[in-house]
């Protein structure tokens, strides 16, 4: 079986829709099948990685700890839009996991390097 390079693009806020949770599930499934997985967080998707998420008031399970578990599944390539970080006033220290910051032009190149792109 050929290993596919899969890019999971997360662009929506972590709660209010099921997109973030669905992305987590798909990443874990892909890793179980030994695919080459990369994650990209752009737009409001950056808030999925923000430390200190508290979902008690909205009565939704906080799924942010799952991002810290990705390393155990050999999911280590996590990229973030440098421009989106600046626009939202976020710094690396605000994030749950170690990320690589990419310019928008580098993000286009990253997308070209992958066989499959999933957008959430």
* pLDDT tens per residue across span 54-102: 888 888 889 899 999 999 999 999 999 999 999 999 999 999 999 999 9
Confidence of residue 2 (pLDDT cuts 50, 70, 90): confident
Reduced to 3 states, what is the DSSP secondary structure of residue 114? coil
Evaluate if residue 1 carries a pLDDT over 80.
no
Tokens of 22: 């669905």
Helices (H) and strands (E) in the chain, counts: 4, 5
Domains of the chain and CATH, by start: 5-119 (3.40.1260.10)
What CA–CA distances, in Å, run from 23 to 12, 27, 41?
11, 6, 11
Give the per-residue pLDDT at 3: 87
Percent of the chain whose pLDDT exceeds 90: 83
């Amino acid at each position: 079986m050929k290993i596919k390079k899969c890019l999971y693009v997360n662009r929506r806020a972590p709660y209010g829709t099921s997109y973030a949770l669905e992305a987590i599930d798909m990443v874990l499934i892909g890793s179980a099948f030994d695919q080459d997985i990369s994650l990209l967080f752009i737009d409001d998707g950056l808030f999925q990685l923000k430390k200190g998420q508290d979902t008690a008031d909205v009565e939704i399970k906080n799924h942010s700890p799952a991002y810290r578990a990705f390393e155990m599944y050999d999911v280590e390539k996590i990229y973030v839009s440098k421009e989106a970080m600046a626009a939202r006033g976020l710094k690396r220290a605000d994030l749950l996991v170690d990320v690589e910051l990419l310019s928008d032009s580098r993000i286009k190149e990253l997308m070209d390097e992958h066989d499959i792109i999933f957008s959430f």
